[in-house]
Amino acid sequence: MPVVAAVIGALVGGGVGAAAANGGGGGTKIIRQVVQPNSSVIARPATVKEVLAKVEAGVVSIHTDLGDGTGMVITPDGQVLTNNHVIQGATRIQVKLFNSTTSQSATLLGHDTTDDVALLKLQGASGLATVTLGDSSKVQVGDDVIAVGNALALPGGPTVTSGIISAVGRNLGDPTVPTNLLQTDAAINPGNSGGPLVNSQGQVIGINTLVIQQANAQESAQNLGFAIPVNDVKPLLSDLSRGVNKATAYLGVSVGDLTPDIAQRFGLTITHGAIIADLDPNGPAAQAGLQQDDVITIFDGKNVSDSGGLVGLIRAHEPGDRVALTYVRGKTTQTTTVTLGTRPTSGG
Give, in order, the Cα–Cα distances in Å from 260 to each of 173, 265, 270, 273, 300. 18, 9, 9, 11, 25
DSSP type of residue 220: B
How many other CB atoms sit within 10 Å of the CB of residue 37? 4
CA distance 10 to 4: 10
DSSP type of residue 288: T
The residues facing 133 across adjacent strands are 204
* 312 in Cβ contact with 326 (< 8 Å): no
* 51 in Cβ contact with 146 (< 8 Å): yes
- To 5 degrees, how large is the angle CA 173–CA 178–CA 180? 80
* 302 in Cβ contact with 314 (< 8 Å): no
Please list, residue by residue across 200-236, b when 16 or more beta carbons sit within 10 angstroms of its beta carbon and e when fewer do: bebbbbbbbbbbeeeeeeeeeeeebbbbbbbbbbeeb
CA distance 105 to 92: 8
CA distance 76 to 99: 16
* Residue numbers annotated as active site: 85, 116, 193
